[in-house]
Structure 1
Amino acid sequence: MTDPVDSSSDGSSGNWLFKNKEHAKISVVASLGMILLWDVNSGLAQIDKYLHSDDNYVIAGALLGVGLVNCSVTNDYDPALALLSEYINKEDSSIQIGAIMGLGIAYAGAQDEQILNSLIAILKHENVPLEVIAFTAISLGLVFVGSSNGEVAQAITDALTGRSVSELGQPLSRLLVLALGLIYLGKQEGIEVTSEVLTSFSKKMRNYVDITLLSCAHAGTGNVLTVQKLLGHCSHLENAETSQGSAVLGIAMVAMAEEVGLEMSIRSLKHFLQYGEQKIRRAIPLALGLLYISNPKVNVMDTLSKLSHDTDLEVAMAAVISLGLIGAGTNNARVAGMLRNLSSFYYNVPGLLFCVRIAQGLVHMGKGLLTLNPYHSNRLLCSPTALAGLVTMLHACLDMKSIILGKYHFVLYYLVLAMKPRMLMTLDKNLEPISVPVRVGEAVDVVGQAGRPKTITGFQTHSTPVLLAAGEGAELATEKYVPLSPILEGYVILVENTEDMEDN
């Protein structure tokens, strides 16, 4: 499984890697990074042989794989930086993109000055292709996500203003704009200065920049005025603007933090589904996928199932991808059944079949042990890097045919930033795993008698480690009230006094 090809291969028919052509090899080799995720030592050893290939696409995939293996891992020796820095200035754009993406994924949220200097130099370099500029900007956005770093924002702004009108019309230009938004993710301020700098743009492009910056800056705040502004932008019927898709995703980003706003936004999105422009309809399934990420609710599942048979193929593709997102890491039988039926229904439509396969992989992600939900502790805390990875992938999906079904399918790997275990483990004071009885149930607001509050309902008692689904909480099953934070996906609980456990 981890050795799909011998690097000395002649490309014979029995060879998995060489059954793929050109840029497809990037995703194939990078997939080793996913299989060996978080296992830095053995992962780098297995990927290293592909760095010595004669094929530039294989090298690019290996560099991206190095970034994936190091994602969310802190290592004193910084092997990813040492390996990838050698390749970011290569002449071949595929190798450059592989190394730059790898750096962005491996050091997301790190705010590393060394990476800042290396990547800004690429942005300032003349005669660099748009695709390299776009992925460099996204990597800078990920490394400095939510930092409001003026130097990075200025560099990306300069890169935007230095593009010609024809280049700004290309699908990858949306990644440049999004990179600018990621710098201000969740910060609610600072975007006005950046918006003013871009006044030289056409009205259409300026609208896209303003909407993307606004939705990123207020992501997770539940700000009603921002949602109203984004809804108002969706109702413009003058011409179906590109920014309307970004506005729909923005509504989901702002409203996803709390339950009431989430329900209200769903109602608004369903109205747009009936009466909205085509650009809006194509973005709505993606917004639903973000609102219910790794949380397969029946009503959303049914809506997406209907949309997956839509006459517009791009709406259908977005719905299929979103079915994978809402079922990500849950092994949900109903979603899996829907996707099996869709694979039969679209067996002769290559683009849609590709989306179905991706969605099936997401549903069974980590064999059901992982989640993509960026929120934890009952929506109290949000991981900015996880949200940034999700938003980057969803913005790429707004132009499915050009990016995901084109030669940039590897942007799907940005989802790795949101992947984390959904297990609850308990350790003793020596950091050794210990089996402890815990009650697992649906997380609720604190109710009950004074001094004996309840944070979960309808619970079952299990021994750790246990899996927690979206909306579930846990508490130690002892006479003494010791609640565990709701939705402790991937958390480790230290239990100091094990005698209480044995007595109960």
Structure 2
Amino acid sequence: MAQDSDLPKPAAAADKGKGKAVDDPKAEKTAADGKKEDDKKDATEEELSEEDQQLKSELDMMVERLTELDSTLYKSALEMMKSAIKTSTSSMTAVPKPLKFLRPHYETLTKLYEEWPNDENKVSLADVLSVIGMTFSDEDRQDTLKYRLLAPTTDIGSWGHEYVRHLALEIGEVYSKRITADEPTTDLIDLALILVPLFIKSNQEADAVDLMSELEIIEKMNEFVDENTYPRVCLYMVSMVNLLTYPDNETFLRVAHDIYIKHKQFAQAVILAIRLHDIDLVQEDFDKAEDPVLKKQLAFLISRQRIILPMINEGEGDDPELFECLHNIKLSDHFKALGKELNILDPKTTEDIYKSHLESSRVAGMTNLDSARHNLAAAFVNAFVNAGFGNDKMMLVESQKEAWVWKTKGEGMMSTVASLGTLLMWDIENGLDSIDRYTYASEPEITAGAMLAIGIMNSGVRIESEPTIALLGDADKLHNDNPLIRTACLMGLGLAYAGSSKDEVIELLMPMIADSTQDMQISAMAALACGLIAIGTSHPEVSEAIITTLMDDERKNQLTNKWTRFLGLGLGLLFFGRQEEVDVILETLKAVDHPMAKPTAVLAEICAWAGTGAVLKIQELLHICNEHQEESEDKKGDELLQAYAVLGIALVAMGEEVGQEMVLRQFGHLMHYGEPNIRKAVPLAMGLISPSNPQMKVYDTLSRYSHDNDPEVAINAIFAMGLLGAGTNNARLAQLLRQLASYYHRDQDALFMVRIAQGLLHLGKGTLSLNPFHSDRQVLSPVSTAGLLATMVAMLDPKDFITSNSHYLLYFLVPAMHPRFLVTVDEKLNPPEGQCPGWSGSRRCWPGRSTEDDYGMADTEHTRAAELW
């Protein structure tokens, strides 16, 4: 084979650099192609239309005039140049032709600018250079802004929208650089304030808000909006809040609130005041509304959030209808009216829910054994399914001896009697008589159940006689020798007055928190009750009492008790939604030398940032989950620390949809690689992130987890399935739960939880919801979220609480229960004649279908149509 050196070299290579003609045919072809390309370029340049060629010639001539020594020609040349640019009708997708033709002359014109004396022509040239500068996208050269500042004018809009947007972009870039370098920014802000009205006028509200946000002058927005532009501006500002960090998120809400108030949009303003956790502002907005009908609408909105206003203006205190709206007194009537129209007032039995005939025939009989345990599960199912309708076939029977309570035993009797509270929810006038007969029973469990039932029934409703304080705050009951009765009274008071910040109740309960003679169970429940009542107020006395208990040397041994977690939860609820205000407590907890201090700090922090979607907090919590916990004496504290972090991820992300999607993926990783304490918490977090919102991808995942080898993971997954579908009657979930009932027919704990999940799925026969968001998902209800969180904290160790003897903790779900309806009433709060109360229009009702449909939605057409109120 010939070597490379032996091959003949082509002529092109031999003659390279000698200037000789190339004989190689390939090389000749390449040269020919190159010539064609050059010819094509020349042809393209020559192919300008006659009109474009004329424009190019004119612009070249204008530039040439500017380079001449005769300064009298400058002004006319610059004016002609400006006119050519402004009248250009080129599309927005291409560079306008005048700018395209002037671009090659840009360097020439900038040199001229440097040479010219400071006069009118120099300013005019800067004006032109600012516009041509748009064609240069060098990050280090903000020439558009540079020359605009050298040629100040208020007629910026005449250069077109694209120029204004480009200028705004450069203002933002230069502002950031100047802030970093600690240089003055007044000239940038003044220029931005000229651009903002131009943006708003041309329906570019988003650009106006973004610019003002970047320059930290969003407070001035109120000056630029009018009655035609404020709705779009406010809508964009409010939509941005979840993507902002503290304190910018609050600033945006306050500015939008002030704009709404200026334009007398009180309903929207009250919603934003609620989101700001500012009760004084809510009161102020409520007082400003003059229309009595509007005032009632605002009252419904405020009462939905469980806010008790400190006072009503003089003269309004005599308005009974307004008082009813503010205190949910007619809620039971409206709910029953809806039930009547939907034809669902007839009570459902547990068998209607279990549908045992659809279970596997081999085990159908084994899942319905007549045992105290099974009967207790039936009591919960009955309580959830018939909640709020005031009738059933198990408890509200004529003869007390026939009541279901006698088919249970021990603490089961307490939970069974307490179920009366959910059956009679919000109906205080009729409910007290039904519960009263159980208050004097010889069995302490039944008395405790009656106390708890009274608290549940009063949840969210206020009547002037205040029967709950009178009955549960009575010294004989609140300080009873039996710890179960004391616990029931504390829990009942917490549920009844959740969100009310009622000082009278707090003063009653606070001494029990720090009382070292009390069991930890009593102190913890007192702390949790105070946390529910004063939620989000950062109440100093209550927080001090809880911190004192955590630092008390006498109670150091008690702090390892399983109930201590509720002490920490009570502290966290006080700072619900307060964001950075919780930092003081976190610093204090660092000084507490006890294994429960760290979990309590995490609990307080996740409550403070609940529903904000704060990405940095989610990252911090994921980092906690990532740490490997070494075996130590304080193992329980370490386990709770990571479990709380998992719940916290869901709690923080639940307010922001994109965050929810990302977090659901993270849960998959935690489930695969996490330790047992993390894996127990993941199903609960998945339920917490979308209660009463059965997304198929979520419940299919939970269905897999419900067969996990770890029994506590499986139990929590089953409960989360119930939470996910609560009040939706979702047919697919119902089928999955029936299959689980057959699968776990020998496991009493898992079967108990399947029944609870079935009861939740059919909550209020499909008319109640556990979703803590309302008002078009704008507002997160702290009370509802607190109820869900308290239940979750108990479920972190299901075999210690719910499936053991403390199943009554499931009633913490009550504050989250709310009718899923949209009610229309007249000015006297009565349904308009001939109109269904569950519709917002005048359409006639039709009987509801009682069969589950193929889409897995609510079991009545009507419920599907009536959305969250």
TM-score range, shorter chain: 0.7 to 0.9
Which of 259, 271, 275 is 2:669 aligned to? 271
| Alignment correspondent of 1:92 | 482
Taking the TM superposition and a 5 Å limit, the aligned residue runs for 1:26-45 are 26-45=414-433
Decide which of 456, 460, 481 is 1:68's aligned counterpart. Answer: 456
Contact 1:438-1:462 at 8 Å conserved across structures: no
- Judge conservation of contact 1:104–1:138 (CA < 8 Å) in 2: yes
Equivalent-residue separation in structure 2 for 1:120 and 1:293 (angstroms): 32
TM-score (norm 2): 0.50
Q: 2:526 aligns with which of 136, 158, 161?
A: 136
Of 232, 235, 241, which residue of structure 1 is paired with 2:623?
232
Say whether the 8 Å CA contact 2:520–2:559 is kept in structure 1: no
Structure whose residues are more often helix by fraction? 2
1:286 aligns with 2:684: yes
Change (3 A) 1:203 1:61: closer
- Change in CA separation of 1:89 and 1:349 when aligned onto 2, cut-off 3 Å: same
Residue equivalent to 1:22: 410
Partner of 1:214: 605
Of the three residues 315, 323, 329, the one matched with 2:721 is 323
Report the CA distance between 1:378 and its aligned residue.
3.0
Q: Where does residue 509 of structure 2 map in the other structure?
A: 119
Deviation, structure 1 residue 228: 0.6
Contact kept in structure 2, 1:437 and 1:464, CA below 8 Å: no
- Rounded to whole Å, the distance in 1 between the matches of 2:627 and 2:699 is 29
Q: Which runs of 5+ in 2 are unaligned?
A: 1-392, 631-637, 849-856, 858-864
CA contact (8 A) 1:438 1:463 kept: no
Q: Which moved more, 1:192-201 or 1:249-258?
A: 192-201
The CA deviation string for residues 333-387 of structure 1, in whole angstroms up to 9 with x for no partner, is 0101111110111011011011101000000000000000000123210111111
Which sits farther off after the overlay, 120-129 or 386-395? Answer: 120-129
Secondary structure class of the residue paired with 1:76: coil
Q: Quick one: structure 1 residues 148 and 350, their matched pair in 2 at CA, closer, same or farther if it must change by over 3 Å?
A: same
Residue 167 of structure 1: how far off its partner (Å): 2.2
Distance 1:4 1:427 in 2: 33
Contact 2:624 2:645 in 1 (8 A): yes
Partner Cα separation in structure 2 for residue 236 and residue 38 of structure 1: 46
Q: CA deviation at 1:430?
A: 3.5
For 1:95-244, what aligned pairs fall within 5 Å after superposition?
A: 95-162=485-552, 164-202=555-593, 204-239=595-630, 241-244=639-642
Residue from 395, 398, 406 that aligns with 2:793? 395
Within 2, Cα distance between the matches of 1:210 and 1:487? 41
The alpha-carbon deviation at position 165 of structure 1 amounts to 4.0
More strand by share: 1
Could you state the TM-score of these two structures normalised by the residue count of structure 1? 0.84
Partner secondary structure for residue 198 of structure 1 = helix
Structure 2 CA distance, aligned partners of 1:54 and 1:432?
Answer: 43
Change (3 A) 1:261 1:433: same
What amino acid does structure 2 have at the position aligned with 1:120? Answer: M
Counterpart amino acid of 1:44? Answer: L
- Any idea what the Cα deviations from partners look like across 1:69-97, whole Å, max 9, x if unmatched? 10111111111111111111112111111
State the distance in 1 between where 2:591 and 2:689 align: 35
Q: Distance in 1 between matches of 2:398 and 2:415?
A: 14
The whole-number CA distance in structure 1 between the counterparts of 2:838 and 2:461 is 29
Q: Please tell me the residue identity of whatever aligns with 2:521.
A: E
- Match of residue 46 from structure 1: 434
Distance in 1, matches of 2:607 and 2:514, equals 25
Measured on the aligned residues, the alpha-carbon RMSD in Å equals: 2.5
Please name the residue that 1:359 is paired with: 757
Tell me, yes or no, if the aligned pair for 1:171 and 1:399 is still in contact at 8 Å.
no
Alpha-carbon spacing, 1:463–1:303, altered in 2? closer, same or farther (3 Å)? farther
| Runs (4+) off by over 6 Å | 436-440, 464-467
1: distance between equivalents of 2:685 and 2:763? 21
Q: In structure 1, what is the equivalent of residue 470 of structure 2?
A: 82
- 1:448 aligns with none
Question: How far has the Cα of 1:439 moved from its partner?
Answer: 9.9
For residues 487 and 672 of structure 2, what CA distance do their matches in structure 1 show? 40
Deviates more, 1:370-379 or 1:390-399: 370-379
For the residues of structure 1 that align with 2:540 and 2:831, how far apart are their CA atoms?
44
Q: What is the count of residue pairs matched by the alignment?
A: 449
d(CA) in 1 for partners of 2:759 and 2:653? Answer: 27
> For residues 445-498 of structure 1, what are the alpha-carbon distances to aligned partners after superposition, in whole Å with 9 as ceiling and x for unaligned?
xxxxxxxxxxxxxxx99657999xxxx9xxxxxxxxxxxxx9952x3xxxxxxx
Q: Computing the radius of gyration over CA atoms, which structure comes out larger, 1 or 2? A: 2
Contact 1:438/1:461 (<8 A) preserved:
no
Unmatched 5+ stretches in structure 1: 441-459, 473-485, 492-504
What amino acid maps onto 1:367 in structure 2? K
**SS of 2:478's equivalent?**
coil
